[in-house]
Amino acid sequence: MAPSSDETATRERTGILDRVLAMIELLAVHTEGLPLHEVAARLDIPRSATHRLLNDLIGHGYVRQDGERGGYMLTAKLVSLSFTYLAGSGVVDLAQPVLDRLARKTGELVRLAVVDTDRLTWVAKAQGALTGLRYDPDMGMEAPLHCTSSGFAWLSCLNDTEAMALIETQRQRRPGLYQDVGPKGPRTDGEILEHLHLARQRGYSITIETFTAGMAAISAPIRTREGRPVKGTLSVAGPHVRVTEQRLHEMAPDLLAAAAEIAATGLGSPAFQRFRRDRDGDIFIGSGP
C-alpha cells in the first residue's frame, strides 16, 4: 500500500528537521565556521538543500555568514537559550558556590556536567588558575564519552554493555566528536573499558592527554546513593605540566566531597531529573533508577 499524503509529509518534515539539527551540531563543533561546500559534504546533503536550510537558520537568527571568508557559523542565540534554561532550572545557582570553593582549593578549572537522556553536557564552571597556563573551554559542549574524564566517570556507573552502547549512540549521532582524540586517547573498545574499570575501582576517573594534548583531568559522578542514576559529573582539569597524576589523586577527596554536596543540594532542580524511556520508547521524567 502506498503511503498517504500525510505520512509522506510527516517523513519529509522529519527529514528536514534531522538535517537542520545535524547542521547545528556540526557548526557547534566548528566554531571558526565552515563553507557551504564543506557543510554539504560532511552531512552528505545536496548543496542546494544545504544553502536553503542555512539561509532559513540565518533568517531565524541561529546562524550567520562571515562577511570576509563566507563561512557559516552559529550565533550566540543558542547559547542565550541554554543559559536562560539553566537560569530557570536553578542548577547553576545551586552548584556554583561548590564549584567556586573547589576551584579555589585546587587552583584549576572545575566543571559541572549534567546527564540528559544519552548525553553529558558541561553547563557550569569555575576557574581557579588566576595566572600562568590555564585550561578554560567554553560551556555548553557535549562531552565526548570515549575519551574524557567526565564521560568515563558517568559510564563507570553503568555496566560495560550499557556504557559501550551509549558511546556507539554518540558516535553515530556526533561523528565529529570521534574524529580526534588526544595523543594518549583510547583507540579501541578494550582501551575504553580499561578506563571504565579503573574508574569503578577508584570511584573517580583520571585522564591524561586522552582528550586534549597537554591536559589532565579527574572527574567524579554525582548521584544520590549507590544504585541510583547518575545526575551528572564534577571534574577538575588543568595543564599536565602542573596537574600531575599524583596531584590528581591528591585532589580526589575534595572532588568526591564536592560531588556529594552537589548531589545533596541540587536534587530539586529540574535539570537533575533523570530522563528515561519506557518500554514503548517514550521519554518521561523520573527520579528513580
Residue 91 to residue 82: CA distance in whole angstroms: 12
Q: Which residue has the higher pLDDT, 273 or 141?
A: 141
Q: pLDDT-based confidence at 276, cuts 50/70/90?
A: very low
Residue 129 to residue 124: CA distance in whole angstroms: 16
CA-based nearest residue to 267, from 233, 231, 234: 231
CA-based nearest residue to 21, from 67, 70, 69, 74: 74
CA-based nearest residue to 229, from 169, 159, 288, 280: 288
Q: State yes or no: pLDDT of 288 exceeds 60.
A: no
Q: Where does 5-75 sit in CATH, by number?
A: 1.10.10.10
End-to-end, the C-alpha distance of the chain in Å comes to 42
Question: For position 213, what pLDDT does the model report?
Answer: 92
Q: Which residue has the higher pLDDT, 174 or 246?
A: 246
Q: At residue 172, what is the residue type?
A: Q
Q: What is the pLDDT of residues 196-231, one digit of tens each?
A: 999 999 999 999 999 999 999 999 999 876 667 888
Question: For position 119, what pLDDT does the model report?
Answer: 87
Q: pLDDT-based confidence at 285, cuts 50/70/90?
A: very low
Question: For position 197, what pLDDT does the model report?
Answer: 97
Q: For residues 272, 276, 282 and 284, what is the CA-based torsion angle, rounded to 10 degrees?
A: -40
- What are the cell numbers at 63? 546562524
User: What CA–CA distances, in Å, run from 99 to 197, 210, 273?
Assistant: 27, 23, 20
Whole-model pTM?
0.68
CATH (one of 3.30.450.40, 3.10.20.30, 3.40.1160.10, 3.60.9.10) for 85-283: 3.30.450.40
| Inter-residue contact 54 to 72 (CB < 8 Å) | yes
Q: State yes or no: pLDDT of 279 exceeds 50.
A: no
Q: For residues 85, 91, 95 and 97, what is the CA-based torsion angle, rounded to 10 degrees?
A: 60
CA-based nearest residue to 210, from 275, 140, 152: 152
Instruction: Report, in this order, helix, strand and coil percent for the chain, each rounded to 5.
Output: 50, 20, 35
Question: For position 78, what pLDDT does the model report?
Answer: 75
Mean per-residue pLDDT over the chain, rounded:
82
Average pLDDT for residues 141-168, to the nearest whole number?
94
CA-based nearest residue to 86, from 57, 112, 60: 112
Q: State yes or no: pLDDT of 41 exceeds 90.
A: yes
Q: Which residue has the higher pLDDT, 143 or 89?
A: 143
Question: For position 274, what pLDDT does the model report?
Answer: 44
Domain locations in the chain as residue ranges: 5-75, 85-283
